[in-house]
A and B are shown apart, each in its own frame.
Chain A
Amino acid sequence: MKNFICKFYLAIIMIFLYAPILVLVVLSFNSSKSRVVWGGFTLDWYRDIFRTSQIMSALQNTIVLALGSAFFATIIALLACIGIDAMRRREYSVVMAVTNIPMLNADIVTGIAMMLLLIRFMPLGFSSIMLAHITFNIPYVILSILPRFNQLDVSIYEAARDLGAGPVYSFFKVVLPELAPGIVSGFFMAVTMSMDDFVITYFTKGPGVNTLSTMIYSQIRKGIQPTMYALSTIIFLITVLVLIVANILSAPQKKRGMIHTPGNHI
């Protein structure tokens, strides 16, 4: 009985979480435009996506923004972590508090603030969105990389120097591989944060430049087309795929540690 209740409870959670997405996926294959009548299976909406230049340019913007902002944010965050790691306890906590504020801050505040800042220096458009995305991604990547620094045994860097390697070679050959899992997961987190963002993009974008989220939002006023269901389904699949890849990339590290716990016995 207890077992049944457990499973039932779990089933309800799953239904609430995934039923809406399932409906969306089903509707994306529905040839009827109605949301309640099943008009037969079709792939037309998917075909339409690739025929609508508006969607294609928004898709392109989204991808370039996600990968680009994640790339730059990761580099900046890595450099920041090297500095933060070298700080004393007091400075460390101050900088970490400052780093955390943008994450806790309401998106709309960040969005308006970024707009006010950027509009002073450039016309709002693709570049301003890119700068905004890099900015809000940095704290997330720092938070993903920094724990790796804390786990890092400084003596492996010293050991590399001791064995004849220069400072730069030691960093790339010995330190960076240890940080890699944090860097990779930070990068992917930044990609999804950027793809996910609506509010900040909406405030920092200029006329004529759209990402998928802002474009879908503008479509709502005209009434949502089934192409949007198809597009959302694709985005959902990509997100799932990215998550699986990120998990596979960082999982082996953990598993190895679990199987061979370091012991003092021979």
Chain B
Amino acid sequence: MLENILSLNNITKSFDGELVLEDLSLDIKRNEFVTLLGPSGCGKTTTLRIIAGFVMPDQGSVLLEGEDITTLPTEKRCINTVFQKYALFPHMTVAENIAFGLKIKKKDDDYIRQKIKYALELVNLTGFEKRKPRSLSGGQQQRIAIARAIVNEPQILLLDEPLGALDLKLRQDMQKELIRLKKELGITFIYVTHDQEEALTMSDKIVVMNQGYIQQIGTPEDIYNEPQNAFVADFIGSANLLAGTMIHDELVSINDVRFDCVDKGFGNNKPVDVVIRPEDVEIREKGQGIFPAVVTSVLFKGVHYEIFAKGIGIDWMIHTTAYHEVGAEIDLYVKPFNIQIMNKPESEDEAVIQTE
């Protein structure tokens, strides 16, 4: 068995002369929960539709289990999709919806009946066989759409922003549900979303995309803690994105204030991008931090306060559980390993990719 269940090789696709994907290559391992994450128009949905077979790439190839399926029509692929707006067949009952794929594969009635029962148990909707999709809530319809896809035992399940239309509470429940399903079924999930929190919660691997290019591939921890460029840092979570100069290894200067850090190998006196997460900026008593600042605004966010403070010519975003009054004079401190240094984009092309 190959390690990679799916490989996209040098995929290029344009619509009406507008380049959507350029020279995209991506390998997906067996049993991985992979999330394609990016803002709308980044090419993530097009990538998914190429995998599903709804869109043919202009160039490049798609390999499933090492076999070229680039030109294979959708219905011949061992891949099933859960659509954004569920796409249940409105004139059929829940059971007929789930049986649709199995009937085409000419499975016998007993097998189909068992499969329907099993799938409905899996998505916690036992007893819904005779209902029509219209009489179900959004969350229930979504589960039926998942049941309909998985009874066909696909090698890969594609999910196109499946939770986009649900409210927050339901979305969080469904996220847990999807992780459980993934574990029970043991198949590869490829998930498309623009919601970074969703991606961080569920994925084994995140592929951050922007403007048709892959920006970074990594585990949720990698992507969050070690963003490779300013776009990723900015898109994943909130961040203080700063321009700095690497004076030498483990020392960076921001607006002429020197910070100890742990990154090496950027050279001496090189301009770099610096990311500091708002929860990593610490508020300290006067005289105990690195530099002084004045609180300019305080917002209550539930779990924490979001405080903006002005210091060394920069508006710092700070997440903290302690309240500070507007106008308070404070000191700020950042631990060396919480300062993330990134190379500046080297060419203009790269800069275009990274800024939206």
Contact = CB atoms under 8 A, between A and B. Distances in A.
Contacts of B134: 256-257, 260, 262
B235 interface: no
15 contacts: A155-B87, A159-B81, A159-B88, A161-B75, A162-B149, A163-B80, A166-B75, A177-B89, A260-B135, A262-B134, A263-B138, A264-B138, A265-B137, A266-B139, A266-B170
A177 B100 CA distance: 15
Nearest to B160: A155
Interface in A108-161: 153, 155-156, 158-161
A177 B81 CA distance: 22
Given A158-B81, A159-B81, 15 more contacts: A155-B87, A158-B83, A159-B87, A161-B73, A161-B74, A163-B80, A163-B100, A163-B104, A164-B105, A165-B100, A169-B104, A178-B90, A262-B138, A264-B166, A266-B139
B111 to A, nearest CB: 15
Given A163-B100, A163-B104, A265-B137, A158 B74 contact: yes
Contacts of A159: 81, 83, 87-89, 148
Nearest to B140: A266
A164 B73 CA distance: 10
B182 interface: no
A160 B141 CA distance: 16
A38 to B, nearest CB: 54
A164 B101 contact: yes
A165 B76 CA distance: 9
Most buried by A among B52, B105, B137: B137
A184 interface: no
Nearest to B54: A158
A174 interface: yes
B152 interface: yes
Contacts of B130: none
A177 B104 CA distance: 18
Contact of B104 (A153, A164, A178, A264): A164
A155 B139 contact: no
A104 B139 CA distance: 47
A160 B137 contact: no
Contact of B89 (A156, A262, A266): A156
Contacts of A264: 137-139, 165-167, 170
Nearest to B143: A266
A153 B52 CA distance: 18
Nearest to A177: B91
B25 interface: no
A156 B87 CA distance: 5
B85 interface: yes
B145 to A, nearest CB: 8
Interface string A240-266: 000000000000000011001011111
A155 B84 contact: yes
Contacts of B166: 264
Contacts of A260: 134-135
Contacts of B141: 262
Contacts of A162: 52, 74-75, 79-81, 149
Contact of B85 (A153, A163, A256): A153
Nearest to A170: B75
A184 B75 CA distance: 30
The residue among B74, B81, B165, B170 with the most chain A CB atoms within 10 A of its own CB is: B74
B152 A163 contact: yes
